Amino acid sequence: MKSSQASRKARAARILWIAEAIVLMAAVMAAAWIRFHNEPEYHVVFVEQAPIRAVLVALFLTGAMAAFGLYQVHVRHTRLDFILRLTLSFAFGGIGLVVLYYLIPATYIGRGVQAMSLALGLLGVCLVRLTWMRIYGSDVLKQRILIFGAGKNADLINSRMRRKSDRRSFLVLGFVPVPGQPVLVSEDLLVRPGEEGLAELVERMQIDELVIAPDERRGGLPMEEMLLCVQRGVSVVDLSSFFEREAGMVQLNVVDPSWLVFSGGFDYSTPRRLSKRFFDLAAALALLLIAWPLMLLVALAVWVESGGPIFYSQTRVGERGRHFTLTKFRSMRVDAEKDGVAIWASKDDDRSTRVGKFIRKTRLDELPQLVAVIRGDMSFVGPRPERPHFVDMLNDEIRYYGVRHSVKPGLTGWAQLRYPYGASVRDAEEKLKFDLFYVKNHGLVFDLMILLQTVEVVLFGRGAR
C-alpha cells in the first residue's frame, strides 16, 4: 500500500518532468521555424540534427530546474520563489548550453534560435505549471501526515502552521494521543489506534509521514511500531525536523542540543568557505561598482541636512564572538544616544533625520557595509550583526542565541526576509528561529536565493526602521 503511494508521487514528478521536457523540445523546433521560415534550405539542414539538439536543450534546462528544487513535489514555493527559481534555472541552464556548444560545436543551435527557445520554453513551462497546479493543486499530491502526540508540542502545528498557505505540501489527518500525557488538541482531530497498534493505523490511513511530537520522550515512544513504519516505507521525522522543512525555521522550544548535533547541516568545509568568500567578494564588488554614484549622493544629502558626520560607526559582534567596526551612513541625530546607552530603533523613531528616514527605509544607509564584506568582517548573506550590549543580554535571555555567531554576519539574511525588524527580546527570539535555520542550512544556492529575494524587501521597504 505504502509503496504504491510513493510510486504515485514519483510517477507524478516524472509526468511533470516529461511534460516540460516535451514543451522545451517543442520550443526549440518552434524557434527554428520562426528563425528559418524564410530560408527553407537552412531550416531543412537544422531539422536533420534537430531531435538531438532539442533533447540536449530540454535535458540541460530540466536538469537546472531539478537542481533548483522545482521537481520536489512536497516543497512549498511562493509565487516569487517559484519565479526566481525558474529564472535562475533558465539562466544557469543557458550558460551550461553555451559551455556545451563551446566544447562540442556540432551541437550549436545558433544565438537566435537559442534566445527564442529560452523565451518560448520559459513561457511554456509557466503554462505547464499553471495547468499542473489546477489539476494537482488538490490534496492528491500532498503528504498525508499523522502526528504522534496531542499535547503542547503537537499543538504547535495548529498554532504556528494554521493557515492554508502554511500547509500547501501536507495534509494533517489526525493526532494520536500519547498515553499518560496531556491532550491539548481538540477532540475532533484525535485519532486513537485502539487495539490495532500505531503501525497498522498508519497503514490503514495510507499515511506518508509520521511526525513524532510527544511532550515527554522518555518511555513514551513506541520504537517497535515506529521501526515497522520505517520498514514499510513510511517517513518518520521528529517535530524539529518537520518545522525546519515545512516552515524554514528552527522551533526553539522543541529543539534539544542532540538534534542540533545529529540532524546534519552546519557545513563549514573548506570548499564551502571558499565558495562563500568568492560569492561575497563578487556580490560586494559588483554592487559597489553599481552603487558608488548613489553613495556619493547619499553622503551629500546627509551632510547638507545636518552638517554633521556623514558616517556612523558602531562596534558589532561577528563570527565566533569577535568584535568589529560596522560603518553606516548616519541616519539619526548626532545626539541619538547621548547617554551612551544602546537603544533599539523603533517604528517612526523620532531620532531619525528626514534624510535618515528615507535611507533607512530604502536600506541605502547599509551600503558602506560593503567595505566590511570586502574586508572579511562580514558576509553578504548571514544573520544581522548585533551590538555587544544586546548580545550579552540576549545570550542570557534566549537559548542557543550564541549559535548564530558560528557564521559571519551578513548585509541581508533569511531572518530579514521572513520576519520584520526586531526591537525586543521576543522579536530577537523569533528572528533567531530563522537565523538558526540559515546557519544550519546555508549554501551557495541558498545565499543566491536570499540575495535575489532581498530585492523585493528593498523595493517594498519591508522590515526597515
Per-residue model confidence (pLDDT) at position 338? 60
Residue 325 has pLDDT above 70, yes or no: yes
List C-alpha distances in Å: 175 to 32, 95, 145, 188.
56, 48, 9, 10
User: How long is the chain?
Assistant: 465
- Contact between residue 150 and residue 177 where contact means Cβ atoms under 8 Å apart: yes
Smallest Cα–Cα separation from 117: which of 151, 94, 89?
A: 94
Quickly tell me which residue has 570586502 as its cell.
Answer: 374
Smallest Cα–Cα separation from 370: which of 379, 358, 362, 360?
A: 379
Per-residue model confidence (pLDDT) at position 73? 54
Residue 184 has pLDDT above 90, yes or no: yes
Helix axes of 388-397 and 425-441: crossing angle, nearest 10 degrees: 90
For the chain, domains (ranges, CATH) are 2-135 (no CATH), 142-247 (3.40.50.720), 270-336+344-460 (no CATH)
Tell me the pLDDT tens digit for each residue of 366-386.
999 999 999 999 999 999 999
Tell me the pLDDT tens digit for each residue of 415-454.
988 887 666 888 899 999 999 999 999 988 888 878 877 7
Alpha-carbon Rg of the chain, whole angstroms?
26
105 CB-contact burial (10 Å; exposed 0-12 / middle 13-18 / buried 19+):
exposed
- Contact between residue 447 and residue 380 where contact means Cβ atoms under 8 Å apart: yes
> How many C-beta atoms lie closer than 10 Å to residue 275's C-beta?
14
Cα 14 from Cα 17, distance rounded (Å): 5
Tell me the pLDDT tens digit for each residue of 189-208.
999 887 888 999 999 999 99
Tell me the pLDDT tens digit for each residue of 101-133.
889 888 888 888 889 999 999 999 999 988 887
Outline where DSSP puts E strands in 149-300.
Answer: 170-176, 209-212, 235-238
Per-residue model confidence (pLDDT) at position 58? 94
Residue 296 has pLDDT above 80, yes or no: yes
Alpha-carbon 273 to chain mean position: 19
pTM of the model: 0.73
Q: What angle do CA 279, 321, 444 make, to 5 degrees?
A: 20
Longest dimension (CA), the chain: 82
Per-residue model confidence (pLDDT) at position 302? 92
